[in-house]
């Protein structure tokens, strides 16, 4: 029997290198009569290198539109129509690492362009992503403002499901906690349910060592160049045990850091080989590049990409630091795929294993 192929067209704002898009492309649900998939049709990001990465990997056939430039300059009346919208709006002003300027910062108001796109196109669904710190900004007031604007956007409004996902519980070898907001248009009459974790128990979770070494990274893999470590860094790392950082390790006086004020736990922090890694980040100076559990060095970008569940044939464009930024800001494709599969099941009306959402707003 030939089943009908049904495609949901997806637009994306703040697309980065394409973590959400890759998860969407991999998602697929089958019924007796049809196969359901998602296809990215256009995307936007201000980072020209991220856009080049997205084009190369998400649209290798040249199909689809990727607009490089400020979201503020997009005329949403002229963009291609779409059935769903994804947007991981910039989290810099809500992250626990930084000044936490919230909605009044430079990046804080950018969620409103997702609201604008939704209001003009009335897509069937949307998925929005941000850091866990979003829910705490201004004692939760900012988050409620954002949720209510999303809930009431467009002609029909949206039924929201809000959940803090711990991605190590969804097959990702990394302790990465992110808020995902799934909205389904009210007139459709469906409720999205949070997909059940697949690696919730610590014994099931994928370790950093497993992710990086199994299988071995090919010798000719792209984005796998080593960072040149200074003699002092190499010596310092010799004293830092797996899981320790520059503040918790017993360092000789000549290797201690002369830093006053806040002491970030990521500084020269080694991975624990038998546990998921700590959160992969996209920026930061010396000592923030994530460090191998055994070798006295920072991880390569390809190793970071594996912790983010990007396949080895996903090639990033730009300089080493530009690639590091893209990898750190991305949504893990493996986690995204699970969420998009749950969304497709919801839209099709098929049951799947689920858990209660852990955030309720009024």
Whether the Cβ atoms of residue 52 and residue 317 lie closer than 8 Å to each other: yes
DSSP at 135: G
pLDDT at 266: 86
Query: Cα dist. 149→73, 111, 142, 159 in Å?
Result: 21, 10, 11, 12
Kindly state the DSSP code that residue 188 receives in the 8-state scheme. Answer: G
Low-confidence ranges of the chain (pLDDT < 70): 1, 91-108, 137, 261-263, 362
The number of CA neighbours under 13 Å toward the Cβ of 137 is: 27
Answer whether 9's CB lies under 8 Å from 42's CB: no
Strand-strand pairing, 354-355 and 194-195: antiparallel
pLDDT given at position 91: 52
Fold classification of 4-201+331-355 (topology level): Rossmann fold (3.40.50)
Burial of 221-244, coded b for 16+ CB within 10 Å and e otherwise, reads bbbeeeeebeeebeebbebbebbb
The model carries a pTM of 0.94
What does the alpha-carbon distance between residue 156 and residue 158 come to, in Å, rounded to a whole number?
Answer: 7
Q: Which two three-digit tokens encode residue 243?
A: 């899981």
At 109 the pLDDT is: 77
CB atoms within 10 A of CB 137: 23
- Nearest 10 degrees: Cα torsion 333, 339, 340, 343: 180
Per DSSP, the three-state class of 117 is helix
> How confident is the model at residue 2, as a pLDDT?
83
Per-residue buried b or exposed e for 33-46, using 16+ beta carbons within 10 Å of the residue's own CB? eeebbbbbbbbbbb
| Cα atoms in the Cβ-side hemisphere of radius 13 Å centred on 328 | 22
CA–chain centroid gap for 101, Å, is: 21
Structure tokens at 108: 């804080």
- Give the contacts of 99 (CB within 8 A, at least 6 positions apart): 93, 105
Candidates 38, 91, 305, 336; catalytic one: 91
Tell me, what's the pLDDT at 92?
A: 47
Nearby residues of 89 by Cβ (< 8 Å), 6 or more positions away? 13, 14, 107, 110, 111, 113, 114, 128, 129, 130
91 is catalytic: yes
Domain segments of the chain as ranges: 4-201+331-355
Q: Which two tokens stand for residue 23?
A: 């998860």
Q: Report strand pairing: 84-87 vs 4-13.
A: parallel
């Amino acid at each position: 029997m030939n089943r009908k192929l049904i495609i949901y067209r997806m637009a994306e704002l703040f697309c980065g290198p394409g973590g959400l898009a890759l998860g969407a492309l991999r998602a697929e649900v089958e019924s007796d009569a049809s196969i359901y998939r998602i296809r990215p049709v256009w995307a936007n990001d201000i980072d020209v290198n991220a856009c080049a990465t997205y084009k190369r990997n998400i649209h290798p056939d040249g199909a689809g539109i990727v607009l490089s430039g400020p979201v503020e300059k997009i005329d949403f009346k002229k963009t291609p129509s779409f059935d769903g919208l994804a947007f991981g709006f910039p989290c810099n002003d809500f992250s626990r690492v930084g000044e936490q300027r919230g909605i009044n910062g430079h990046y804080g108001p950018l969620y409103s362009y997702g609201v604008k796109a939704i209001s003009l196109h009335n897509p069937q669904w949307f998925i929005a992503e941000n850091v866990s710190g979003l829910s705490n900004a201004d004692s939760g007031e900012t988050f409620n403002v954002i949720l209510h604007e999303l809930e009431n956007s467009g002609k029909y409004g949206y039924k929201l499901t809000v959940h803090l996902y711990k991605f190590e519980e969804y097959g990702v070898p990394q302790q990465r906690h992110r808020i995902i907001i799934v909205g389904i248009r009210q007139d459709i009459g469906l409720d999205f349910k949070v997909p059940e974790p697949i690696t919730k128990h610590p014994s099931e979770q994928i370790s950093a060592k497993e992710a990086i070494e199994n299988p071995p990274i090919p010798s000719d893999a792209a984005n796998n160049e080593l960072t040149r470590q200074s003699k002092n860094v190499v010596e310092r790392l010799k004293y830092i045990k797996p899981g320790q950082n520059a503040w918790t390790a017993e360092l000789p006086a000549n290797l201690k850091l002369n830093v006053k004020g806040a002491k970030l736990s990521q500084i020269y922090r080694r991975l624990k080989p038998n546990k998921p890694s700590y959160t992969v980040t996209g920026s930061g100076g010396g000592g923030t590049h994530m460090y191998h559990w055994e070798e006295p060095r920072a991880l390569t970008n390809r190793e970071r990409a594996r912790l983010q569940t990007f396949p080895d044939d996903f090639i990033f464009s730009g300089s080493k630091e530009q690639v590091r930024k893209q990898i750190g800001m991305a949504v893990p494709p493996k986690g995204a795929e699970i969420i998009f599969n749950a969304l497709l099941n919801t839209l099709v009306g098929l049951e799947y294993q689920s858990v209660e959402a852990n955030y309720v707003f009024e």
